[in-house]
Amino acid sequence: MTYLQVVLNGILLGGFYLLMAQGLNLVFGVMGIVNLAHGAFIVLGGLGVWSLHGAGVNPFLGLLVVTVAGAALGAVVQWAVIERIRGTAKQHELLTLMATFGLSYILINVGQQVWGSDFRTIPYLQSAVTVGPFRFSLSLLVGVALAAAITLGLAAWLTRTRSGKSLRAQAQNPLGAGACGINPRRLRLVGFSVGAAVAAAAGMLLVLTQPIAPQAATSFTIVAFVVIALGGLGNYKGAALGAVLVGVVQTVAGYQLGAVIQAAAPYLMLILVMLFRPEGLLSRKVS
Amino acid sequence: MAHDPVPGPEAEPAGGSLVASLMGRGRTARSAGSTGGRLPSTRSDVVQVLVLVAVVGAFLAWGLLGTPARNQLAIDVAMFVALAYAWNIISGFTGYVSFGQVVFFGIGGFVTAELIIHLQVPWFLATVLGGLAGALLAVPIGWVMLRLQGIYFALGMFGLAFVVSLLLSQWEFTGGSTGLVVPGVIAQQEVLLGVTGVAVLAFLMNAFLARSPFGLRAMAVRDDEQVAEAMGVPTTRTKVLAFTLSAVFPALVGGMVAYNRAYIDTSTMFNPAIDLQVIVLVLAGGIGTLWGPLIGAVLLTLVSHELATALPDHQLALFGALVILVTIFLPGGLVSLANRFGWLRREIVRGPAELPPEDELERALAAAHAPRDADRPAGEELLVASGVGVTFGGVQALRDVDFTVRRGETVFIIGANGAGKTTLFNAITGMVRTSAGTISFDGLPVQGVRAHVLARRGLARTFQIPRPFGSMTVWENVYLAALGGRHRRQAHAQAAWVVQVLGLQDIRFAASDTLAVGHRRMVELARALALGPSLILLDEVMAGMSDDELERVREAIRRMPSFGVDAVAGIEHVIKAIVDLADEIVVMDRGSRIISGEPNEILRHPEVIRAYLGSGPGLGAGTTATATDGNP
């Protein structure tokens, strides 16, 4: 019975990971950029909510605030940095990697100036919920529910609305999208902005369940990358599978093999999956 | 990042590496105007050596004669120079951007520390052994990790470094989380000499790469790995060797640093920030260049040191801002500034300044190329494909195709778009997997054999969409192919002949990514010919060529037998150009071979006229030798 409980906790954790990865996936899908500052957006979002909570603001209101702030910050970054990087597709890939890496340094540094290097969490929704034989922490359940809502909202936006469809068109064929009258510049701005907003929102949910600090940003970037790489970069359904897999493997490894293996698990999964299915778990094999 | 390992029939060229096109921008801008018969700058090596000696001398004088604090700063500078050049080997020249070379820095450090602590090995010897340990580990790690590409490799290495660091931190060998105390006297000046020595070695290794056949092979891997294989480059071996070289220097430096600091633990020795800093240094200086890493490492290490002293709280942010500024305003690094004035360009592997007269070359080469297997009769089967089937997903691209080429023959395949012609070539050269049938070349099966082995066995091909190695000159493209298994001088002669025959003399020093399409096809053909193949597969080499170029290609095809080419198989749409060349024409339609025979017979065949040329009135074979099917 405890074993099943561990697996269920892993699945819930996967819900978090999915939300953490969605923004990264979106930005990669639309612009072909792996945003190495993604984890910094997450951490700053979480710490922002922490500060608001300290000032007496309800975390859910805080969620709205940091989401909007994240969107604004993302738009500024896109306008001031990413959009200004020139070069062919190949150059662009490396240069944006470097630029977002530099950006993560800046954001982490700012975070440390504002919040210091202590790990912080919000003691909120601490009670436990009993479902049949299982017990879950309320914050985890609420977090997963919110994560699911945001993910579904994102999916609906991408498949139902005009701007969302334009975004997918841009992702699949930028030239064709341009020929159809889609303004790629504005779309990239929207894409990066939404990606950052989702990251900030993920940060809020994260800070409810575990302590975070600015210097942890890189590890969140990596976990998010592992999730989308497992599913195949840019593949939205694959990301869901990847997230659950990482969550379950991590909790089970932690339960059975200890904290070290738990921390190493995502990296080991990344290396193994990349070696055997470099195109991701769900992608059709190309030839 | 769709790294499509095997392009479909009409696919775009596979993406090369991240780094490939960051080099040679200055050159591109200039040679775009004139197609570039210009000779490359011929800076003398003497000047470069003098500059190096002066730089090292000045650095040591500055570092050794100062205060202990100055000694320490100099050690840091030399360390980053060595790390930068090491990283440049795998990531700059070979195009595999790694975020985890620090793993070798750490391994070298711990091996050295243990040798000093437990066996009392002298520090210098211990670091050498630590370097060896790094190299030994790099071979299996590289062999596995280098199957990953692009961002996957970069982050895979990052993950590996993290995992290794985490696991070692649990192990007594490394002192666990408390670390190790390395006994030793404070010997900063000795260590400075040692680290500087490693940095110089790393520089020399880069200089060697910039002009040697091995370096050329590494750059070919960077520009287009699949084509490199097809040109006879053993890509796996090349990559692993480059990876090992880029592991030795960090391991050596790691050992010296361990001794220098007298205390190490896993979190400092495997600190990912070291890697990230190295990447920034190289990028700021100029990735894949010879002098860029030096400039970047010295300048930025000093700047970063000043920042750390002046603004300790904001050092990271300022460093990050610097990175962003470089990527936006100086994407080619500081070296690209100098490049604008023609300084510090990549050393070009030079062809002959003067080509010998053509007839003389031809005589020399004909002597060297006793027609291969002269004892074997013409008419013997060289390539036999039977019952070949290929499927892409649910699409049957090839269905039960038989295709035979005999020695002394020239065979051309025609057929509409999507008929499966290129797929057949891809199957023959092992680039797509067959679902049915057998293919053998020169009596040996080709399925499951790596492309570079086939290339060296005498099977050469061109690509339908020309894929020259973009960061190389035309000469380097041809010379690289000519190298396959040959002695350098012989390769040189071979490449010179090919350049001459195809009329590429005037553009041989042009950057190949600036060429017009006709010239690109010529380079494709030149590379395949330079391999010295027994069978050459030409995939639409004549498309998009001027009449003049067309005639040159036809002439080259006619003269191939005298240089050891036993047979030619081609795909072509320019029918008038092949009627008099072909011994046999094979017609394909929708994945099947529909008919074959002598050219004149084929062009009159009613089924061919219907399936391929169209059946409109007045389109009789005799009058429509120029028909094309609209393929570009």
Q: What is the ipTM of this complex?
A: 0.85
Chains A & B: contacts with CB separation below 8 Å: 140
Q: Let me know if residue A257 belongs to a domain.
A: yes
Residues 67-86 of A with CB under 8 A from B: 81, 84-86
How confident is the model at residue B11, as a pLDDT?
A: 33
pLDDT of residue A110: 92
CA gap A247, A230 in Å, rounded: 12
Closest C-alpha to B31, from B480, B329, B474: B474
Q: What is the CATH number of the domain that holds A114?
A: 1.10.3470
CB A202 within 8 A of CB A20: yes
A209-238 average pLDDT score? 84
Give the residue on B whose Cα is nearest the Cα of A270: B156
**Do the domain assignments include residue A287?**
no
Answer yes or no: do B156 and A271 touch at CB < 8 A.
yes
Question: With a CB-CB cutoff of 8 Å, which residues 205-234 of chain A face chain B?
Answer: 218, 222, 225-226, 229, 233
By C-alpha distance, which of B422, B378, B428 is closest to B403? Answer: B428
Q: Considering only CB atoms, which chain A residues are within 8 Å of B321? A: 102, 106
Contact B337, B284 (CB under 8 A): no
Average pLDDT over residues A228-255: 84
Write out the two tokens for B404: 């035979």
The stretches in chain B having pLDDT less than 70 are: 1-44, 185-186, 339-358, 361-378, 611-632
Is residue A25 domain-resident?
A: yes
- Token output for B48: 């470069």
Answer whether A62's CB lies under 8 Å from A53's CB.
yes
Q: What is the pLDDT of residue B376?
A: 63
Partner B contacted by A270 (CB < 8 A): yes
Residue A220's identity, in one-letter code, is F
pLDDT of residue B629: 42
Distance CA A261, CA A255 (A): 10
Determine the residue of chain B that is closest to A77 in CA distance. B324
In chain B the domains, ranked by start, together with CATH numbers, are 54-270 (no CATH), 376-465+534-623 (3.40.50.300)
- Range with the poorest average pLDDT among A30-39, A155-164, A277-286, B175-184: A277-286
pLDDT of residue B125: 92
The Cα-based distances of B424 to B9, B388, B428, B437, B575 in angstroms read 9, 8, 6, 12, 19
State how far the Cα of B513 lies from the Cα of A145, in Å rounded to an integer.
Answer: 52
Domain assignment present for A281 = no
> Is there a contact between B167 and A260 if contact means CB atoms under 8 Å apart?
yes
Average pLDDT value over all residues in chain A: 84
Q: Cβ of A264 under 8 Å from any chain B Cβ?
A: yes
Answer whether A264 sits within 8 Å of B162, measured CB to CB.
Answer: yes
Contact B5 A275 (CB under 8 A): no
- B73-97: per-residue pLDDT in tens? 999 999 999 999 999 999 888 989 8
At residue A276 the predicted structure's pLDDT band, cuts being 50, 70 and 90, is confident
Q: Do A287 and B326 touch (CB under 8 A)?
A: no
Distance of alpha carbon A11 from alpha carbon A136, whole angstroms: 12
Dump pLDDT digits (tens) for B540-590. 888 877 888 888 888 888 888 877 788 899 898 877 788 888 888 888 888
A230 contacts A242 by C-beta, under 8 angstroms: yes
- State which residues form the domain around A144: 2-276
Closest to B317 (Cβ–Cβ): which among A105, A260, A263? A105
Residue A284 in domain: no
Say which amino acid occupies B148: L
The total of structural domains in chain A comes to 1
pLDDT bracket for residue A177 (50, 70, 90): confident
Among chain B residues, the shortest Cα distance to A234 is held by B1
Q: Where are the beta strands (DSSP E) in A114-229?
A: 128-131, 134-137
